[in-house]
Structure 1
Amino acid sequence: MTDLEQLTQALARNLKRWRTERHFTLDALAARAGVSRGMIIQIEQARTNPSVGTTVKLADALGVSITTLLDRDRGPRVRVVGPGEGVRMWSTEAGSVTTMLVGDDRRGPFEMWSYRLEPGEGTDSDAHPPGTVEMLHVTAGELTLVVADRRHALPAGAAAVFEADVPHGYHNDGPEPAEMTLAVTIPPVP
């Protein structure tokens, strides 16, 4: 089974499990997430591999991390994710890539990501639930952080923290690849 097939199967199984545990009907989850009922059915039947944006909306609506939706099995107290074992969520032909390194949802979703953005590329995110905070550290190149249409230039070595309940994005406007590590914490669903 390929990585994509394993990812699709894990997402199907976990989405249905978490929707059932939250006592959400298909219609209720669709309304909370802003994702069509038909799309949720296709995901739960492992007939489609949704976009990162759709996966984030579903995770936010369920009050779990993306890691929880994609996790094959919940591990012991210490879980080591080896080099190359993170879940690739987004990539481009030019070489930009976003990888979820590790995450947990025992005290509300908490995720760690790595990003590599080639010159001229970037990615944008919809607003997350109120109380969501993102922290990032630029490790190479220069990153342009956009939060609510305001641009912030961050050189290698810089770090930032912001409330992510507004549209935001990460872009590389420079001539060299930009790399960063990102941590996201989302408050639990009441």
Structure 2
Amino acid sequence: MSDLDQLTQSLARNLKRWRGERGFTLDALAARAGVSRGMIIQIEQARTNPSVGTTVKLADALGVSITTLLDYEQGPQVRVVPESQAVRMWSTPAGSRTTLLVGTEARGPLEMWSWTLMPGDGSSSDPHPPGTTELIHVTAGELTLVVDGEPHPVPAGASATFEANVPHIYRNDGARTCELVMAVSIPPAR
């Protein structure tokens, strides 16, 4: 696949994804961006390469960067946040504190889960609806997070986020119990 073909496919996939996540109809996005409905359809069907100006207008209307809209990434993106990169928001002399572990842009229902995985145990998940995002924080042991066949070690104190619209597995390959907290953001039903 040529670079141009890859760009066309990436833009089509991302435009459709972000328009869906924002809940915009074709007409609503066209009005917000000042781009014709027909042009948006052609872009989403990967039948045309729009000008840079048109691409910038669409990114602005969706509230994302042009880099996000043109992202070539072919699979789900997983971001592991080491404990050292978590952001302490406030603390008191008595020891109370809040820490922003990991965040993502998402709309719709949000679930929070507590998990315990014994050594050698695991749980597989089928793909969730497009736009579903999971946030994980490991509090003990080490989680092996397998997303679309690729393993990602997430040690105690680290956090991760990924798009859950592909098969994924939560696995404890270690000798210690793995404990984690998970939040799942599900796109609103339409």
TM-score normalised by structure 2 residue count: 0.43
TM-score normalised by structure 1 residue count: 0.43
Higher Rg of the two aligned structures: 2
